[in-house]
Amino acid sequence: MNTAVNISGVSKIYDRISVVNNLSLSIEEGEIFGLLGPNGAGKSTTIRMLITLAKPSQGNIEVAGYDTLRQSDRVKRSIGVVLQQTSVDGDLSVWENLEFHGRMHHIPNPVRQERINRWLEYVELTQKRNALAKTLSGGMKRRLQIARALLHEPQILFLDEPTVGLDPQTRRRLWEIIQDLNQKGMTILLTTHYMEEVEFLCDRCGNGKPGRIGIMETGKLIELGTLEEFRSRYGEAIAVSQKGDRIDYQFFADSTAANTYLDSLADKRGVMVRDSNLEDIFVELTGHQLN
Predicted pLDDT at 288:
60
What is the structure's pLDDT at 167?
86
pLDDT at 290: 46
Helix (H, G, I), strand (E, B) or coil at 78: helix
CA 243 to chain centre: 34
Helix (H) and strand (E) counts in the chain: 10, 13
Q: What is the pLDDT of residue 291?
A: 46
Name beta bridge partners: 82.
159
CA distances from 182 to 33, 84, 101, 112, 167 (A): 11, 20, 23, 23, 23
Q: 171: which residues sit within 8 A by CB, 6+ positions away?
A: 163, 194, 197
What is the per-residue pLDDT for 1? 64
Q: Is 216:22 a contact under the CB 8 Å cutoff?
A: no
CA distances from 267 to 209, 246, 247, 255, 271 (A): 43, 17, 16, 19, 9
From the list 215, 217, 282, 291, the residue with the least C-alpha distance to 251 is: 282
Residues of the chain with pLDDT under 50: 290-291
Three-state SS at 238: strand
- How many C-beta atoms lie closer than 10 Å to residue 51's C-beta? 21
pLDDT of residue 162: 87
Cα(159)–Cα(52) distance, integer angstroms: 15
**Alpha carbon distance 35, 223 (integer Å):** 10
Pairing mode, strands 66-67 and 79-82: unpaired
> Which structural domains are found in the chain, ordered by start?
3-226 (3.40.50.300), 236-275 (no CATH)
Q: Which helix (H) or strand (E) holds 77?
A: helix 72-78
Terminal Cα-to-Cα distance of the chain (whole angstroms):
35
Euclidean distance between CA atoms 120 and 139, whole angstroms: 14
pTM of the model: 0.90
